[in-house]
Amino acid sequence: MRRLAAFSLAFQCVLLAAITAPHVPVAAAQERAATDPRELTEAGRKAYAESLKAARKHIDDKEYAQAIAIVDKLTAERPREPQARFLKGLALADSGRTDDAMAMFRGLASEYPELPEPHNNLAVLLAQKGEYELARAELEAAIAAAPDYAVAYENLGDVHVQLAIIAYEKAVAHDARNKTAPVKLKLVREALVPPAATTPPIVAPPASR
């Protein structure tokens, strides 16, 4: 478990080149965005991408108001593009505005069901609130959208562990003589303990093109 109460948020901006999961089925989303009558020129697309990059840097620097101002402007200009709204969801989540972030990801998941990241991030925030059954449903939707989306599988495993903990705790509470449930409870709790931090290997930079 790596982020947000042990679950993994998808931080990559959907539909951009630098995305963790290159399998993401973006064609439908791109096609809908392309129907926007205000077509972007090549220079306009580059400026849009640079603005997204600037917003992401503000998020990394915890300058959430600045990030939100940028993405709100982009959304006003290009309402059919999901990238800016996705970044706003990240800014809202990181700044502690969980309910607003959930509303943002829920809207994106409804409009772009083929994108797994909004489902995943909504699930993370639901899990933070202890809504594990709802989180499981969102993660299953993310996997249905992208069957090789590894982040969602890991998060789904963590959700199942949390649900197992709840079930074993109830078993212990309702039967003090139960000898097996406490052992299983201990095992699943230990599964959530992250491994000791290790020094990451040095990775050579990619060759210049």
Each residue's pLDDT tens digit, 87-120: 999 999 999 999 999 999 999 999 999 999 999 9
Contact (CB, 8 A) for 1 and 158: yes
**pTM, whole model, 2 decimals?**
0.75
- Per-residue H/E/C for 55-104: HHHHHHCCCHHHHHHHHHHHHHHCCCCCHHHHHHHHHHHHCCCHHHHHHH
Q: What is the CA radius of gyration of the chain?
A: 20
- The 10 Å Cβ neighbour count of residue 131 is 16
Q: Report which secondary-structure segment, H or E, holds 185.
A: helix 180-191
Tens of pLDDT, residue by residue, the chain (209 residues): 333 334 555 543 333 222 233 233 344 454 554 445 456 688 888 898 999 999 999 999 999 999 999 999 999 998 888 999 999 999 999 999 999 999 999 999 999 999 999 999 999 999 999 999 999 999 999 999 999 999 999 999 999 999 999 999 999 999 989 999 989 998 888 877 766 544 445 444 445 44
